[in-house]
Amino acid sequence: MFGSITAMFLFIVFMLSTIVASTGWHMDVNYADGATVKLHGHTNSGCTKFKKTGSEITSVFFDTSLLADTFVLYGEDGCKDEVYKGKKGNNNVPNDYYAAYKVY
């Protein structure tokens, strides 16, 4: 009896982890110098600084998740100066240097 309960529990945990793993958001950030940075997550990102800052961002491809359907680009690290808000698909952003982003 305990073996079947354990097996059922493990199956449920496996199925839930598979669902969560396949429902994450993805964001490809394209730069003027030809580089692409791929970002991903499962929940809201909070204010996150870009690691690459030496080139202007030209476009962002964003694929939503169950928990996040919007991204915002900011001109400074503290995420107070909202410059661009995007949704699912290819977003041609104003060519500029962006310091941080949020996904929610």
Mapped onto helix, strand or coil, the DSSP state of residue 15 is: helix
**In CATH, what number is assigned to the domain containing residue 91?**
2.60.20.10
Q: What is the pTM of this model?
A: 0.78
- Residue 59 belongs to some domain of the structure: yes
Predicted confidence (pLDDT) per residue in 67-78, tens digit:
999 999 999 999
Q: How far is CA 102 from CA 14, 16, 19, 31, in A?
A: 29, 26, 23, 18
Confidence of residue 1 (pLDDT cuts 50, 70, 90): low
Please state the domain count of the chain. 1
- Flag whether 32 is in a domain: yes
Q: Is residue 53 part of a domain?
A: yes
In a domain, 75, yes or no: yes
Average pLDDT for the chain: 87
Residue 5 within a domain:
no
Q: The domain containing residue 61 runs over which residues?
A: 25-103
- Flag whether 12 is in a domain: no
